[in-house]
Amino acid sequence: MGLLFLFGFILWGWAEMSAFIYIGGEIGGLFTLLGVFVTAIIGLSLLKSQGMVVMARIRDDLAKGRAPVGSIADSIALVCGGVLMLVPGYVTDAIGILLFVPGLRTVAGAWILHNMMRSQRFKSYVHVGGRGAFTAAQQSPYPTGDDDDIIEGDVTEHSHSKNRLDKGRH
């Protein structure tokens, strides 16, 4: 996995440098550098406007009693797109812009959400409930870890068993 990450990082650096050199050759170095800052500002404004729309949709879904899974997937993709727009480089900006397109945003966010739910690191912070829904581990009054020494159950006190114990003591 580490070797794959290293190869991807080198490939990403090569793609960013190639794009930077090509664009710099076409429009000049100053405009290329200025373009990196402009795309970061555009990314922040898109994140703000689109984020407010998605947050309103989440509130609307919750008010109607529906699970806001699609809106959560959209918000995850928006955050990733915003971060990619802030990272200097034209390749990351292009990927970030793609994450702001509504159809692609939902698909990419669902994919990211799916991979997060499969991750053991993520499961240590959030208890994953059935059918892909989240439930925070703090909502349950009982620990939700893999503790084998915890037995959950109900206790019922019967009056006739209490009377038998009292009779045996006299």
How confident is the model over 102-116, as pLDDT tens digits? 889 889 988 988 888
> Residue 23, class by beta-carbon neighbours within 10 Å (0-12 exposed, 13-18 middle, 19+ buried)?
middle
How confident is the model over 14-64, as pLDDT tens digits? 999 999 999 999 999 899 999 999 999 998 898 888 888 888 999 998 999
How confident is the model over 4-13, as pLDDT tens digits? 989 999 999 9
**Dist. CA 140–CA 127, nearest whole Å:** 10
Return all residues near 47 (Cβ < 8 A) that are at least 6 apart.
78, 79, 81, 82, 85
How confident is the model over 81-139, as pLDDT tens digits? 989 998 889 999 999 999 999 889 889 988 988 888 887 776 666 655 544 444 444 44
pLDDT at 144: 54
pLDDT at 17: 93
Return all residues near 125 (Cβ < 8 A) that are at least 6 apart.
137
pLDDT at 22: 95
Pull the structure tokens for residue 91: 């390749």
Contact 88, 97 (CB under 8 A): no
**Dist. CA 147–CA 107, nearest whole Å:** 36
Q: How confident is the model at residue 69 (pLDDT cuts 50, 70, 90)?
A: confident
